Amino acid sequence: MTKKTETVVIGAGPGGYVAAIRAAQLGQKVTVVEAEHIGGVCLNVGCIPSKALITAGHRYQEAQHSDFLGLRVKEAALDFTKTQQWKDQQVVKTLTSGVGMLLKKNGVDVIMGRAKFTGPQSLTITTKTGEEKLEFKHAIVATGSRPIEIPGFAFGGRIVDSTGGLNLKEIPKKLIIIGGGIVGSELGGAYRNLGSEVTIIEGAENIVPNFESDIQQLVANKFKQNGVEIYTNAKAKKATETTDGVAVEFEVKGKTQTIEADYVMVTVGRRPNTENLGLEKAGVTLTERNLIKVDEQYRTSQKTIFAIGDIVEGLALAHKASYEAKVAAEVISGKNVAKDYRAIPAICFTDPEVATVGYTLAEAKAEGIKAQTANFPMQANGRALSLNATEGFVRLVFEAETELILGAQIVGVNASDLVAEITLAIESYLTLEDISLTIHGHPTLSEMVMDACEVGLGLPIHM
């Protein structure tokens, strides 16, 4: 028997489940097809569980190093099995079951299986019990991405991707990370705080290469202070499992070196999940990078099919996928909306945290904009001092003549939360004066945004 629905969403990650719920809220009959786990990579083996391990590492370090507060802990012991149970049961399971409940509450049908297009308005779903056929008016493809496997580092055993790295049964005494981007740096920091000796091998000139050089330097310096060994401009060649570990061969400055560890984690990027979907039968066109071509409303070359998230051009960010999900669902529902990437924050949960949004100064100048920056240091903020977290700064990028806020780079405690105010400011076309005239609570970290605006206006109070 062939089932029918108005809109089918393939994938139930932060793009797919949001698209399904929004489409249902707007009156559509919606079916979600998910091959593995409700919540996708982000909730199950990505954003959420990684932050849980990062939090555990921070708490462990705080328990060991709180003498400056007058607090002395006789002994801080870490039960990693319990840590992993908390991560899986209290964090991941709570969120994923909550998403399942939201889908049900909104009347979304969920089918666990693998979908494959048989035409522009039909597909088959392979489930554990057999095969189902589904016809639809519209489809939203949100199948996400997976870790890249590089030559010489086939996943298995002690050679793991980020998913395997999040689910280790033990804390490695020594851990090698191939790739010092956001994921590698976040997990490297987490395991260092949990007690591992960590080595990062990065092919670029600096770790976290997508950020500005002064930000890269702050993160790298903190890693080095914590005993993390970093090799940059390095090429990983191969990994060989030994009796009780793994040996990694890499080249740096023309010399080949070999180091050993308990595990090696490869975090060199992700590739889109666009294979085996039958997209050719649906008339959907791909780019040279196997991404799906979409227009301003996320419509593919086949007008009945939309695509969002990691499988389309742009940053592979969960919040970007969720934004795109709402646009696609609203377009299908008849609304005249289109994408607007004016302000997409990017966040790295290293120590210190990094968050950016909008233009950097260099990017603004490259666009021909006469821009300036205003910086305010964390060490001048009362709340940061009381948290003993004074590393970093808030930097605003603004148009020189109009004082319109164009972007920001934040490094330091709670940067991930502080960036929200500036994201809203950019979206709302606010100026330095708009924020400086906004009363901020005291003592708070958010005052630094106001203080940075006052620096830009030439009227700083706290500098």
Catalytic sites, residue numbers: 442
Long-range contacts of 458-463, Cβ-Cβ distance < 8 Å, separation of 24 or more: 460/376, 462/376, 462/380, 462/381, 463/376, 463/377, 463/380
| Half-sphere exposure for 71 (CA within 13 Å, toward CB) | 10
| Spatial CB neighbours of 124, under 8 Å, sequence gap ≥ 6 | 115, 116, 118, 131, 132, 133, 134
- DSSP structure string for 377-445: EGGG-HHHHHTT----EEEEEEETTT-BEEEEEEESTTHHHHHHHHHHHHHTT-BHHHHHTSPPPSS-T
Strand, helix or coil at 292?
strand
Burial code of 16-41, b = ≥16 C-beta within 10 A, e = fewer? Answer: bbbbbbbbbebebbbbbbbbebbbbb
Cβ-based burial of 53 (10 A; exposed 0-12, middle 13-18, buried ≥19): buried
Dihedral of CA atoms 118, 123, 128, 129 in degrees, nearest 10, equals -90
Peptide bond into 209 cis (omega under 30): no
Tokens of 427: 């979206």
